[in-house]
Structure 1
Amino acid sequence: MDVPLRQRDRSGLEFLGSLQHHAGGVLQPAAAARYEAAVPDQPAGLADRRRSVGTVLADHGPWLFDRFLTRWVAEEIYVRALPAVEHGRERIDAWLNAGGAPGTLALDPGVEIPDYWNAGFHLTTGGWDGHDLMGVVTRDLGYEYVLAPGGVGAVRTGEDILDQRERVAREAPRRDYRRILEPGVGTGMFAHAVARVFPDAEFTGVDLSRTGLEYAHATARDAGLPWRLIQAPAERTGLPDASFDLAAVYILFHETPPKATAAILRELFRVLEPGGDLVIGDVAPYDRHPAFRAVVLDWETEHRGEPFWRSALQLDLPGLLREAGFTDVEAYGAGGGTYPWITRGHKAA
């Protein structure tokens, strides 16, 4: 939605976006150039890569300021965005609660929340549902003003976050899907990309976040999309066996520990009908990146609220798909790059 912002709120968020753009677009490339010139034969293992980058860039100003600014901006988003939404609460509440949505929203006050979901993702104040307007905070303020212009994590400065989502949807093998499931639907950013690629398919989104689902429901209403949105853990959706022909997943599995990832994959295999497909878009494993880039990505684990990032980027995701029962498993970079990184599988007929 068009969040009503005071000038001070808007300028503060735009300042964060500019800082992030400078860090990712100027400081980080300078640090990468320094490292690559100093270490032409780069180490392979993650521990050796971290030591190498730390040693070579220990007193390199662009690297130190890039890391400082990236962490500070990640914290400051919520310091500035939470008061901003309070200033516009009346209009935001009216938008979220307007009727007339063609789809459904099923919230479960007694939903069983897995322990890992309370890990403080992305340094959010109080967690994903730490504020009742967190969906607006993350999508309309965080993404719009800071992350879209500045980049974040695997998304480099200047890349189109929304276009990347549509590229993942287009990696699904067919175009005639009838019923699509997205676990971890969040605020619906990827869901809208799925709707553009598969406009005639029925869509169901599952997530644990009440505020994310409320936001997705409101945007689906505005777009006239009859989404079915359900509050439930992705590993226990409660949906019937063989009820979907495509499961589409975007940037979910770097937010889950390995055991939860395996459980979610088993659940997706269960709810897919024979002949159905799974397409996943996420961050490429560490071994697909040069040493400096791998260390930049790994830094997220301990410094930017990504507690399961390191385990996810060292996980054999294709192997887990095969263990869950999927066939024709493949992994590759969309467009030949490393992000979005695609993993696909098929449930044999």
Structure 2
Amino acid sequence: MTMDCTLAQRGRALIDFEVGVRQAAGRMQVALEAKLAERGVTASTLPEEMDARHDLIDSTLDDQPLYATRALLTDWSAREHGRVCEQAFDEVADTMVPKLEALASGLTTIVADPAFVAPRYWSAVWFHRTTGGWDGNAHNGYVHGELVHRRYVARVFPGDVYAQRRRVLEELPRHDHARILEWGTSSGHYTVALAERFPDATIVGLDPSLRMLEQARRVGNALGHAWDLRVGVGEESGFANESVDLVTSYAIHHELPPKIITRWFEEAFRVLAPGGDLLMTDVPRYADLDRLAAWRFDWTAKWGGEPFWRSSAQIDLAAAARRAGFVDVRTCAIPPMGNPYVVYGRKPESSHG
């Protein structure tokens, strides 16, 4: 049983139109940055404070109709891409729902604690401007894991977004981890990369969204994996002290408030066995980018429904890992785009480090 989906003509055309809008907005951005350079606004002349950067660029391009058009298209795409993919799914739901239901059974399981209450930083935010939030639609897991991600995101973001998930695992100094804990599992794309790299490991995935975990379960069952998926959050994982060999996440920190990111590192240190590894990835650090590139990320995040992006992108994740107790901490930005940003750390063999 597979989750292959042949979209109806209307749904396919709507998604293709969305992709075209986003690509057109990207070409407009290139033209607008050339206009900024003509007017003396470059990475080296932009102010240090981010809001001041926005103000200067807004005023510099205020007379450019293309700037307003770029904002209009970006806003429209941010609001509509999820809805378009939902509509595309609804057109073929009669065919797809039985396939999805069949993949609910298999080796991969979900544990949903009835006492779990999602934190407000997650439940009160419609990330990516998804109507109703991640659990707002009964089939959001499939819609976002397959349609949004594969048919929209993979076409508008640079590079191979799936190869990036495999690439970050090359930063681990060892590959014999037997007990892996993944935080922010979502619909399972990174979990697939983990299973490929560690075929004999026990993989536990944690995420606050039941809808997303339902899709991860389908993926695991379709591939014959026995993933242990649990509804929960990283800052209060519920795992025993020193019970896993690797704690890892992919591009989830920018959806967390800074104080929660700090708790994630502390919780990872607690649950890791001595000598265990930490590997977490996220969006590039603003401090590592020139001021124009950082503004570009910040502008897109503001339109794209990412309320914690700026505050999280300004955190020194390496310092946060060291404060939690990790040693041999190092970071890197995956080439060629410098995205994602990776932080690695190791828990000392003894509590004395």
- TM bucket by the smaller chain? over 0.9
Does the 8 A contact of 1:273 with 1:347 survive in 2? yes
Q: Give SS of 1:204's match.
A: strand
- Once the two structures are TM-superposed, the CA of residue 289 in structure 1 deviates from its matched residue by 1.6
User: Do the aligned partners of residues 3 and 109 (structure 1) sit closer, same or farther apart at CA in structure 2, a change above 3 Å counting?
Assistant: farther
Q: 1:301 offset after TM fit, Å? A: 4.2
Which residue of structure 1 aligns with residue 83 of structure 2?
A: 79
* Matches of 1:60 and 1:179, distance apart in 2: 55
Whole-Å separation in 1 of the counterparts to 2:66 and 2:181: 43
The residue number in structure 2 matching 1:115 is: 120
Q: Give % identity.
A: 35
With the length of structure 2 as denominator, give the TM-score of the two structures: 0.91
Of 105, 130, 144, the match for 1:138: 144
Deviations 1:222-279 (A, max 9, x none): 1111111111111111122212111111111100001111112211111111101111
Structure 1 residues 329, 237: closer, same or farther in 2, change over 3 A? same
Map 1:273-284 to 2 at 5 A.
Answer: 273-284=273-284
Contact 1:129 1:209 in 2 (8 A): yes
**1:14 paired residue number:** 16
Distance in 2 (CA, whole Å) between partners of 1:194 and 1:34 is 44
Offset of residue 337 of structure 1: 4.7
Q: TM-score, normalised by structure 1?
A: 0.92
Alignment partners' CA distance in 2, 1:325 and 1:306: 29
CA gap of 1:66–1:195, structure 2 versus 1, over 3 A, is farther
Paired residue secondary structure (1:254): helix
Aligned residue number for residue 224 of structure 2 = 224
Partner of 2:261: 261
Give per-residue Cα distances to partners, 1:79-116, cap 9 Å, x unaligned: 32223222332333322322552222112343111010
Letter in 2 for 1:164: Q
* Cα deviation, residue 303, structure 1: 2.1
Q: After superposition, where does 1:293-304 map in structure 2 within 5 Å?
A: 293-304=293-304
SS in structure 1 at match of 2:155: helix
Q: Which secondary structure state, in structure 2, belongs to the residue aligned with residue 170 of structure 1?
A: helix
Unpaired stretches in structure 1, ≥5 consecutive residues? 152-157
Structure 1 residues 33 and 196: alpha-carbon distance in aligned structure 2, compared to 1, 3 A threshold: farther
Is residue 7 of structure 2 the alignment partner of residue 2 of structure 1? Answer: no
1:300 and 1:111, CA in 2 relative to 1: closer, same or farther beyond 3 A? farther
Query: Which ranges of 4 or more aligned residues in structure 1 deviate by more than 4 Å?
Result: none
Code of the residue aligned with 1:242 in structure 2: it is E
Give the drift of 1:173: 2.1
| CA–CA separation in structure 2 for the residues paired with 1:329 and 1:57 | 42
Deviations 1:50-104 (A, max 9, x none): 2332233223344433332122111111332223222332333322322552222
SS in 1 for 2:253: coil
Aligned to 1:247: 247
Q: CA deviation at 1:129?
A: 0.3
- Whether the aligned pair in 1 keeps the contact of 2:10 and 2:88 (CA below 8 Å) is no
For 1:42, the equivalent position in structure 2 comes to: 45
Q: CA deviation at 1:10?
A: 1.1
Question: Hey, what's the Cα distance between the residues in 2 that align with 1:12 and 1:270?
Answer: 47
Q: Secondary structure, in 3 states, of the residue corresponding to 1:348?
A: coil
State the match for 2:72 in structure 1: 68
Q: How does 1:1-349 map to 2 (within 5 A)?
A: 1-24=3-26, 26-37=27-38, 38-40=40-42, 41-43=44-46, 44-98=48-102, 100-118=105-123, 119-151=125-157, 158-335=158-335, 337-349=337-349
Letter of the 2:96 counterpart = I
Deviations 1:16-61 (A, max 9, x none): 011112222x212222233244234333332332233223322334
Report the alpha carbon displacement of residue 347 of structure 1 after superposing the two structures with TM: 0.5
Distance 1:78 1:67 in 2: 18
SS in 2 for 1:248: strand
Range with bigger deviation, 271-280 or 72-81:
72-81
Shift of 1:220: 0.7
Distance 1:337 1:173, change over 3 A: farther
Task: Mark the CA change 1:36 to 1:109 in structure 2 (over 3 Å): closer, same or farther.
Answer: farther
Letter in structure 1 aligned against 2:23: H
Contact 1:42–1:49, Cα closer than 8 Å, also in 2: no
Aligned residues: 342
CA displacement, residues 132-174 of structure 1 (integer Å, 9 cap, x when unaligned): 10011112221222221112xxxxxx42111111111222221
Distance 1:324 1:75, change over 3 A: same
Distance (whole Å) between structure 2 residues aligned to residue 145 and residue 69 of structure 1 = 19
Matched residue SS, 2:121? helix
Gaps of 5+ in 2: none
